[in-house]
Structure formats: structure tokens, C-alpha cells
Structure 1
Amino acid sequence: MRQRISRLRTAAADEDGSVLLLALGYAVLALATVLVCVDATSLYLEQKRLDALADAAALAGADGFVLDVVDGSPAARLSSDGVRAQAEVLLAVADADADLVRADAPDGVSARVTVADTWHPPVFSLFVPDGVELQATATSRTALR
């Protein structure tokens, strides 16, 4: 009986510290998961901000129409230059660091605007790239046809 108790004590002494290593491993894994989740949330919010900025720029571009009288009735006509000018003004007023990639009026009644920006992770992580190019395109039609 004493031999058995002695063997159990020896076996228990060999296991000392293994729980600490396991706990540290799980803590590192949990920390890495939290950091990746923070970066993923930041990327999602940046894309949504860029989408909203493109929507606003397209809406502003659609307001840059010129009224023409065709067969005695007024008709709104958009030009690519007018859309670009309105989108540039909006980006300047919004103090956005996004770049205006394209702003045009493909059919004369719609304004299409594309903006781009580079996202950088707020928290350093080995699993997330340092910079990701983001782009958003929005289209808006004039209220008057």
C-alpha cells in the first residue's frame, strides 16, 4: 500500500506545471482571436463608411444636372463633368481621406461614383495584412427625367 501511495505522489509531482502551460497556450489563442476580431470589425466598419461616402457622392453628383427644354418640356441632363465636380465638392466638405476614382454619367440621367481608400488595422496582428485596398461604387438617378 505504501508503494502505491509513493508511486501516486511521484506521478503527481511529474505533472506539476502542465496546467500552467496549457492555460498560457489558451490565453495566447484567446488574445489572438480577440485581436483578429477587432481588426475584422474595423475593416467592416471602414467598408461601410466608404459605401456611405460613395452613396453621398453619387447623390450629390445626381444633383448636378442641367435642365434642357426638349419639345417644350424640361428634361434633366447629367454630364460626367458635372457629376465629378459635385462629387469632388462633397468629398472636400466631408473631409474624407478617400480618393475619387471615377465619377461619370453613363446614360445622362444616372450618376455613378467610385471612391477608394486603404484600410490599416488598428491593432497589430500577425494574422491580418497591414493594408487592404477598399473600393465602393454607388449609382444615383436624378429626380427629374
Structure 2
Amino acid sequence: MKIKEKETKLEKFICEKEELIQKTKQNETTEKDYLYEATVIDPEIKKLKNQIKLLKYRLTREKQKKERYMERPKSVCFGGKKNLKHDIEAYRYKRRRRKEGRGSIGMDINRDHIALAEIDRKGNLVKTWRIPVKERGARNQRKIIFLVIHA
């Protein structure tokens, strides 16, 4: 609806400009007409064309989003303890196996904090920690503390 309104306004301004062009061809134009065309009509035409272009772009983008949403299958999550009421022992066994196994701990030492992350044997993130480190003392002392933490 906005696009049609803008297009009708644009058509009106284009008609006005064509009338002024006809006046110019007949040598009936004045300085006032020229200034009106240069300061009002031309910028307004340019502005309306840009607004129409942006509205059309937004419209096509929203249509594409709608199509993608309609094509995408709805996601469903299966599993969990409530679905295994009949076989709770299998659930507990799998849960214990998940907790066991060989995981890893990653450590990232930064100037203001130490970050730790634990992953399980399959590479899934289990837990993260962030330990703040307060800077105290002179630069040399901070260097020594940093080296002690690294060692």
C-alpha cells in the first residue's frame, strides 16, 4: 500500500517536470520555474525513487523469509527421562556412561581472568568456569605471579 502511494506521488512530480520541460522547449520558462524544478522537483523525485526501491526490497525480503519459514520442517525433540519410564535402567546406564569416560579440560589465561572449560569424550561442552585475577603490585611482581601460574 505504501509503495502505491509513493508511486502516485512520483508520477505527479514526473508530470510536473514534463510540463516544465515543455515550457522550456517553447521558451516560456522563467528563472522561478527553473529554481522550482532544481530545488523541489528533482530532489523529491530522487527521494521517492529511493523510498520505493527500499520498500520493494523490504517486501521481497519478507516474502523470502516467509517462504523459507514455510519450507523448513518444524523441529521436534525426542528423548529425555520422561520418554524412558518403561526402561529407566537403560536411561541410568547411559547417563552413567556419559559421566564416565575421558574428557578434557581447556584453560585460557588472560590478563584479568582465567577461563576453564570441560568437555566430555565426544567433544561436547560440559561446564565452563571463569576465575577473575586481580592485578596487584608492580609489573615485575605480576610477571612472577603469571609465571608461577603457568608453571
Q: Could you say which structure has the greater relative contact order, defined with CA pairs below 8 angstroms and 6 or more residues apart?
A: 1
Q: Shared fold (TM-score greater than 0.5)?
A: no
State the structure with more CA Rg: 2
Higher strand share: 1
TM-score, structure 2 as length reference: 0.29
TM-score, structure 1 as length reference: 0.30
Higher helix share: 2
